[in-house]
Chains A and B, each alone.
Chain A
Amino acid sequence: MQERLQDESYKSGKRVLLNGNQAVAEAVKIAEPDVIAAYPITPQTPVVEKLAEFVAEGVLNSEFVNVESEYSALSVVYGAALTGARVFTATSSHGLAYMYEMCWWVAGSRVPLVMALPTRSIGAPWNIHSDHSDVMILKDVGWIISMAENAQECFDLTLIGFPISEELNIPYSVSYDAFMVSHTAEVVEVRDVELPKRKQAYKILPNSEFALNAVTVNDARHKARKTLMKDLENSRRKIEKIGRCFLGEDFSLAEKYRVEDADYVIVTYGGWSGDFKDVVDEMRDEGVKIGLLKLRFLRPLPEEELKEISGDVLVVDRSALYKFGGMGGEIKRIIPEAKNVIAALGGYEIGYSEIKALVRRFVSGKIGEVEWYP
């Protein structure tokens, strides 16, 4: 049955059974990058396998560069992007750590590009499962950081990543949980859209008579970083405008799920947002005024939505940055009384009943300022 659904719908170009990785690849296919370079790492590998297939079959006209490391992958697409090419790469975890220097170079150079980042724990100890440790090391480099909840959002957030990145001249990443999203098949609407042609602030071509990123003195580096941080902070309106143009009027940086009149609000992001929504529904049925704010973007941070929250807040993170979870510490800057739970690192199983128990403890006021689960 599912197979039939997939086959038929594939032909019509509408609703297809895809996992998160394949959904990303389908969106990249629409964007038609000039150059794709990536090095395989679990759980990202199927994205580039799929794209390599498209290129081999001739349905995607991209230059596919096989590289020997993630450092090279981002370097290759960086160089290509500087000449005005639309580019794409993907990595996870240790791969991101290995290309980390280049992450700063592309952001600092204001190069538009899109990178898929299915989230995976970073060793030690060795672990290939989901938590958000990797995306947290990219969070403050100067990239736009989006987080998909499911395969549909993987598709959508990848698709709009190209025009957003090219409008703002800031690199863009789309993250989604290892396996739970990256390898779980769902019905995805493959939108029938065309993206605008690539644009960017500058290109370097053989006849260009200038140098990029020469050794700077005085305030050049200070100015460059300041401008990037300000542009990222103020990128919200442009992201929303482009998102609404391709994905519909509901699109925003954060999804408000039953938060109107809520006395309690869970703030979280990523794959388990769906479980939290189910818990919200169940508890609403019991008469508890509870809602969820799902962060679709970590950068720029959806501050307006966070400031609107009136009830008690619990931030649930899947990473730890010293004392707080990945977003807990900075959300406490906006909502000082917010509670924070750091949960389920390294793919630790947390299901509906555990999540419900956690939310119940929060509603009954039993969660302290910061807690670990387990």
Chain B
Amino acid sequence: MLDPLISHPKVGSAGKTGEWRVFKPIVDHELCVLCLECSEYCPENVIEVRDDKIWIDYDYCKGCLICKNVCKMKAIKAEREFY
């Protein structure tokens, strides 16, 4: 009865949602000070630090650009991927 209602959270249970993206956030590592504000605010939880650099999982980044908005260093720019 309940199988269709219940789900167990896992990465990518709704497919590669990165495909929904129109704008791709690109980090300028020269400007970035690793404050992690973007990571705090990312609603998809796809920003982390790898090799001392901000790393975005583009498989699931939906391109909302909240990260770009909250970055005080203006280290994130948007690149249009689809027209």
A binding-site residues for B, Cβ under 8 Å: 108-110, 169, 201-202, 209-217, 219-221, 223-224, 227, 231
Contacts and interface: CB of A to CB of B under 8 A. Distances in A.
Contact of A212 (B6, B13, B14, B15): B6
Given A202-B2, A221-B4, A227-B1, 9 more contacts: A202-B6, A210-B7, A210-B8, A211-B9, A215-B14, A216-B7, A220-B5, A223-B3, A224-B4
A110 B5 contact: yes
Contacts of A210: 6-9
Counting chain B residues whose Cβ lies within 8 A of the other chain, the interface size class is 10 to 19
Q: Which 7 A-B pairs have the closest CB atoms?
A: A220-B4, A224-B4, A214-B7, A223-B4, A211-B7, A210-B6, A210-B8
Contacts of A219: 4
A110 B4 contact: no
Contacts of B4: 216, 219-221, 223-224, 227
Interface string B1-32: 11111111100011100000000000000000
Chain B at the A interface: mostly helix, strand, loop or mixed? loop
Contacts of A201: 1-2
Given A215-B14, A217-B14, A169 B1 contact: yes
A10 B11 CA distance: 60
Contacts of B1: 110, 169, 201, 227, 231
16 contacts: A109-B5, A169-B1, A209-B8, A210-B6, A210-B7, A210-B9, A211-B6, A211-B8, A212-B5, A212-B6, A214-B7, A216-B4, A217-B14, A217-B15, A220-B5, A224-B5
Contacts of B8: 209-211
Contacts of B9: 210-211, 214
A184 to B, nearest CB: 40
A224 B15 CA distance: 21
Nearest to B9: A211
Contacts of B15: 217
B14 A110 contact: no
A366 B6 CA distance: 55
A237 B5 CA distance: 25
Contacts of A109: 5
A221 B5 CA distance: 8
Nearest to A211: B7
Nearest to B3: A223
Contacts of A108: 5
Contact of B2 (A110, A209, A216, A221): A110
Contacts of A220: 4-5
Contacts of B5: 108-110, 212-213, 220, 224
A107 to B, nearest CB: 12
B12 to A, nearest CB: 12
Contacts of A215: 14
Nearest to A214: B7
A212 B2 CA distance: 9
A202 B3 CA distance: 11
A210 B13 CA distance: 13
A362 to B, nearest CB: 43
Most buried by A among B1, B3, B9, B15: B1
